[in-house]
């Protein structure tokens, strides 16, 4: 118990030093937690993605050190950031796979003209459109479409009513249909 308290105090002191611009303190925190954060991230994404996500979070931590407000240890904050970024990455990968599946399923349609659709451009357009949604709409939409959660499950998870979930998803779909109207023939499965 004493060792745990000591570690907690060390982490708080490290973070306080980091906020003051101490690069050595940042290096110590990085070396101390990088392997554990990568290991934790591997529960959600592959090893290469886990390393990239953890590195991005650590860079973000350094770049935003002066504005981040953490009352106690920064470690739970880092683990939560890793988890959230992993889930976002996982959702992006699932979206990309769904889009590719839709594209391949429509390979024999008139929309197969190679000059008409470029896969990467379409994927980027859809990802950007989803990321541009208001946060609460995007969250409900992603949970429903990419995590296959029911409205009831989403409502329970977000602590809101099922009607609110329905409203948010319908609004997200409405916005996406407008933004992606030129691609609708290929996106029927995603936006219906």
178 pLDDT band (50/70/90 cuts)? confident
Res. 134: pLDDT tops 90: yes
The number of angstroms, rounded, from the C-alpha of 50 to the middle of its chain's C-alpha atoms is 13
Q: Which residues contact 74 (CB under 8 A, 6 or more apart)?
A: 11, 12, 14, 15, 29, 61, 68
- Give the right CATH number for 2-86 from 1.10.1740.10, 3.40.50.720, 3.60.20.10, 1.20.1600.10: 1.10.1740.10
Arithmetic mean of pLDDT, 39-52: 92
Joined tokens for residue 124: 């980027």
Arithmetic mean of pLDDT, 105-130: 67
pTM value is 0.53
Res. 45: pLDDT tops 70: yes
Q: Where are the domains of the chain?
A: 2-86, 106-186
Class of domain 106-186: mainly alpha
Higher-pLDDT residue of 104 and 74 is 74
Res. 4: pLDDT tops 50: no
Arithmetic mean of pLDDT, 121-127: 80
Q: Which residues contact 159 (CB under 8 A, 6 or more apart)?
A: none
Higher-pLDDT residue of 148 and 111 is 148
By percentage, how much of the chain surpasses pLDDT 90?
A: 37
Per-residue pLDDT, 82 = 94
Residue 115 neighbours by CB distance under 10 Å: 5
Res. 78: pLDDT tops 50: yes
Arithmetic mean of pLDDT, 114-119: 56
Per-residue pLDDT, 51 = 94
Domain 2-86 matches domain 106-186 at the CATH topology level: no
Between vectors from CA 66 to CA 52 and to CA 138, what angle results, nearest 5°? 55
Q: In sequence order, which ranges of 21-74 are alpha helices (DSSP H)? A: 23-41, 47-63
Nearest-angstrom CA–CA distance, 43 and 29: 22
Q: What is the pLDDT of residues 94-116, one digit of tens each?
A: 888 888 887 777 665 555 555 45
Per-residue pLDDT, 191 = 54
Per-residue pLDDT, 190 = 55
């Amino acid at each position: 118990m004493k060792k745990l308290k000591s570690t907690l105090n060390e982490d708080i002191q490290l973070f306080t030093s980091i906020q003051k611009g101490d690069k050595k303190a940042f290096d110590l925190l990085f070396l101390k937690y990088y392997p554990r954060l990568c290991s934790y991230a591997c529960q959600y994404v592959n090893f290469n993605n886990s390393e990239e996500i953890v590195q991005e979070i650590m860079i973000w931590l350094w770049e935003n050190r002066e504005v981040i407000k953490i009352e106690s240890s920064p470690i739970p904050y880092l683990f939560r950031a890793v988890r959230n970024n992993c889930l976002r990455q996982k959702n992006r990968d699932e979206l990309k796979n769904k889009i590719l599946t839709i594209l391949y399923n429509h390979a024999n349609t008139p929309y197969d003209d190679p000059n008409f659709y470029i896969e990467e451009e379409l994927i980027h357009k859809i990802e950007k459109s989803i990321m541009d949604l208001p946060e609460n709409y995007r969250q409900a939409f992603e949970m429903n479409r990419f995590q296959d959660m029911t409205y009831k499950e989403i409502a329970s998870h977000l602590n809101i009513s099922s009607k609110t979930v329905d409203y948010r998803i319908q609004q997200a779909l409405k916005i996406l249909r407008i933004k992606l109207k030129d691609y609708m023939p290929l996106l029927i499965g995603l936006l219906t």
